[in-house]
A and B are shown apart, each in its own frame.
Chain A
Amino acid sequence: MASASNAAALNAVALTRRFGEFTAVQDVTLSVAPGQFFGFLGPNGAGKSTTIKMLTGLLAPTSGTIEILGLDTTRAAEEVKRQIGVVPEGLALFGRLTGAEYLRFVGTMYGLDRATTADRTQELLEFMDLANEPKKLITDYSHGMQKKIALAAAVIHGPKVLFLDEPFEGVDAIAAGTLKTMLQGMIARGATIFLTSHVLEIVERLCSHIAIIDAGRLVVTGSLEELRAGTAAHGMLGDGSGARLTLEEIFIRVVGRGRVAEGSSSTGSAPPPQPAKELSWLG
């Protein structure tokens, strides 16, 4: 085991998960350095949520090892849990509690004392603009509000590594701005963030490093600049023109092979995703 001080924030080796005959994630190896804002991308059903569940201990890997901050997630599960914060796929909310009650509960479950929990609850509710409706139950929150309270709960104990599964899905521009500000602040203070999202513009703006998974296999990983330059590990993305690719273009080139018709552009601009088949009966 690596020492916690100089270890990677996250180190997964040969991670595989099978559900019966179906292999959802196969042989995924990735490493995230401390302080990185890491974007984990992939099309629907590629294995993103399964991977994040394994990394956070919600799902047992069929094989492979995971270390977070140098700690083995199986052998030092409790210590790992103290160091990480998670916004999982289902948000892990208790609908019949108010926002303040929920944060108080979560703070206590993470071992914070009453005073700290109370102060942080108040700060988080205000920061997330949720303090104005103290009697509202979480089940009555809008989707965006639920995302915000889930994120508040994930950070209340000050995690060193934060896992976010689609944090921007269904969130309005103002709320998304609030979330981004908070996440960038965490990165500036040395935290590591592992994020999955389909909103590629946001990922491109926030993340310094990217990995793309497709059909359960990691197909590309590297820094954004490496991906843009087309020299990322596992992938040959360059088109020979020397033009800078956007993340969307990179994503479509990596994942879209065989799914969308290739564009004929030679200038490096994104080939417009053309449907492979026509639906002639659609108006």
Chain B
Amino acid sequence: MAPDALADGQRQGVLHPNAAAQFRAIAWLRWRLFVNTLRRRGGKAELVARVLFYPFLAVIFIAPVTGAGFLGYYAVSEHQSSLLFLLTWVVFSAWFFVTAVTSVMPPAIDLSLLLRFPMRFRSYVLLRFTLGVLATPNVVGSLALAGAAVGIGIAQPALFPWAALVLFSFALMMVLLLRMLLTWLDRWLAQRRTREIVGFFFAVFFFGFQYLNLRVQTMAHHHGRGIPHLERMEAIYHAARPVLMALPASLAAHAIETQAHRSTLAAIGAFAGLLAYGGVFAALFALRLRGEFHGENFNEAPARSSPVQLSGARQAAREGLRIPGLPVAVVACIGKELLYLKRAPATLLSMLTPLVLVAIYAGRLGTSDLTLPGALAYAMFSTVPMLYNALGQDAAGAQLYLLSPTPLRQVFLAKNIVSSGLILLVAAIATVIVVRNQPPGLPVALATLFWLGFVLFTNLSLGNYLSITAPRKVDPGKFSTRQQPSQVSVWIVIGILLGSLMLGFAILWTSRYFGVIWVAPGILFVFGATALGVYLRSLRRIGTVVLKHRDALLESLCKS
């Protein structure tokens, strides 16, 4: 485009004259990124894994949409207005929760990279918003609200236009709210120090939640039906009700409820309140994007510190981790892994999440032989995948392992020790949570222990192999990134955990059925010992495997 034409174009219209072409180009870019992902080594297997995964997802998506539809229908047809409030609040909470969980997935494109192109601020905001709308939780949340509108429309056709307008506005407000929160969160987490502080508060929150849950369960156990604190909580709810009624989810429900009762003025008032929220969130979203648009740069570098004391640095280097009985290089690698872990709060947080649910459901899991291994399998699902991308966080640094004279089995041994330690820590916490409620018998406890060894060593063997043959570079510096293995690896983890769970269950059930429960730990001991033998053998051969696959390994980890 000629400069004159560009200047004319900029004086006219809201968006850049080239905005439509830019939007098309970005859509094309996303498509090509997806296609090129499939062209990579292992891309076809990845495609198969996705094809298997999508129907699974579709079922998960359909449930909230139809559920919201039925609830909307029932609330209006049965004049149960409180159910409308329940509907909007459940959608609000689920939408919020799913967005929080999925926000740890890295975005397909770093949209701030688009700023170098000639783009107007409004185009940039619209682009960010549009791509935000297409995020999975927003699509599902919007569809759920659409389902609710349809349900309400079937129950009371005259109410449909109003309900659709209110719920559409509510969906829009949700998207704006969540986009706004995520962009501001990104801003706060752009600096390592704030990231660590936020990570700390998240950890405190998770542990606090678990503690609270355990306390409530303990009180329920001791006091039977009566929980004195419940009365206090009810009082708190009543006190907070006016505040809750002023929040967007309540306003949306109130707008529909009052219109259903022909109180148009009250309905419009509630709707106006909802729009006001949307406006505020849109303004805050735009405010954050304006900073990005004008090229703000968060330099992570700390202020230049005073010259370090000679002896201090030397002393620090002389110190460091010491583990008697292990080769020095293994200890050095363990030290390095622990430092990485300390500086990657997202990894730690991802491990804690399942423990929260284990804590919540610990009292409701029943008393079967499978309770403990089932809880362990669930708790480990967040930690085991890290075994499948052991070199991912090292990225180009992994070259050092090939350049140094340290045998690669020592490097992998160190990585395995650290990750196994984490897995066992998570398993130990889950065990304490479950056992407090229902201690298993000694044979079941031993069988579970050997089963755990079997699962761990099997995953270590396979994980090491796939870490070498299908590595993925990840950036531990970004809060929104975890050590994500490929989709194929995730399916392998699911397969191994479910398969081993069924195996353990079959052995325990059969032993109990025939009245020989002590046979179960014996059989599982053999399984565990065999898995250990296979692991040790694979560890001895790991140097050869790395050399065989070093081209692809370094290509995946070193290329930008």
Taking Cβ atoms with an 8 Å cutoff, the residues of A that contact B are 53, 56-60, 78-79, 81-82, 84, 86, 88-97, 100-101, 103-106, 108-111, 114-115, 117-119, 121-122, 125-126, 131-137, 139-140, 153
- The DSSP consensus for interface residues of chain B is helix
Interface pair A109/B317, CB less than 8 Å apart: no
Would you call B336 and A94 a contact (CB within 8 A)?
A: yes
- Given A94-B397, A136-B302, decide whether A59 and B554 contact each other with a Cβ distance below 8 A: yes
Query: Measured between alpha carbons, how far is A153 from B396 in the docked complex, in Å?
Result: 14
A-B contact count (CB 8 A): 146
Pairs of residues from A and B, 6 with the lowest C-beta to C-beta distance, nearest first: A90-B396, A118-B317, A108-B332, A92-B399, A90-B558, A109-B404
Minimum CB distance partner of B330 in chain A: A108
* A159 CA to B315 CA, complexed, in Å: 25
Among B302, B307, B395, the residue within 8 A (CB) of A135 is: B302
In the complex, what's the smallest C-beta–C-beta distance from A126 to chain B, in angstroms?
A: 8
Partner of B313, one of A88, A106, A108, A131: A131
User: How close is B343's CB to chain A, nearest CB, in angstroms?
Assistant: 5
Residue of B192, B305, B393, B397 near A93 (CB, 8 A) is B397
Give Cα A218–Cα B314 distance, bound, in whole angstroms. 45
Check: B243 CB closer than 8 A to any chain A CB. Answer: no
B301–A136 CB distance below 8 A = yes
In the bound complex, how far is the Cα of B405 from the Cα of A81, in angstroms?
5
User: Per-residue 0/1 for B314-335: is the Cβ within 8 Å of any A Cβ (1 yes, 0 no)?
Assistant: 1111101000000011011101
Known: A96-B476, A105-B332, A131-B308. A111 touches B405 (CB 8 A): yes
* Minimum Cβ distance to chain A for residue B423 (Å): 21
- B: residues with CB less than 8 A from A are 192, 300-302, 304-308, 310, 312-318, 320, 328-329, 331-333, 335-336, 339-340, 343-344, 393-407, 476-477, 547, 550-551, 554, 558
User: Which of B302, B329, B406 has a CB less than 8 Å from the CB of A133?
Assistant: B302
Q: How far is the CA of A111 from the CA of B318 in the complex (A)?
A: 14
Complexed CA–CA distance, A119 and B317 (Å): 8
B306: A residues at CB distance < 8 A: 132
- Most chain A C-beta atoms within 10 Å of own C-beta, residue among B305, B320, B335, B402: B402
Given contacts A58-B550, A131-B313, 19 further A-B contacts (CB under 8 A): A58-B399, A59-B551, A81-B404, A88-B399, A89-B558, A91-B396, A92-B398, A92-B399, A95-B477, A96-B343, A96-B477, A104-B332, A108-B328, A111-B328, A122-B310, A134-B308, A139-B477, A140-B302, A153-B400
With A132-B307, A135-B305 as contacts: A97 and B339 at CB distance below 8 Å:
yes
Residues of B within 8 A of A78 (CB): 405, 407
Min Cβ gap B325→A in Å is 16
- Closest A residue by C-beta to B557: A90
Residues in B with CB closer than 8 Å to A100 are 313, 316-317
| Cross-chain pairs A/B with CB under 8 angstroms, 22 sampled | A53-B554, A58-B402, A59-B551, A60-B547, A78-B407, A82-B405, A88-B399, A92-B398, A94-B340, A96-B343, A96-B344, A97-B339, A105-B336, A106-B404, A110-B405, A115-B318, A119-B314, A126-B310, A132-B307, A134-B316, A137-B192, A140-B300
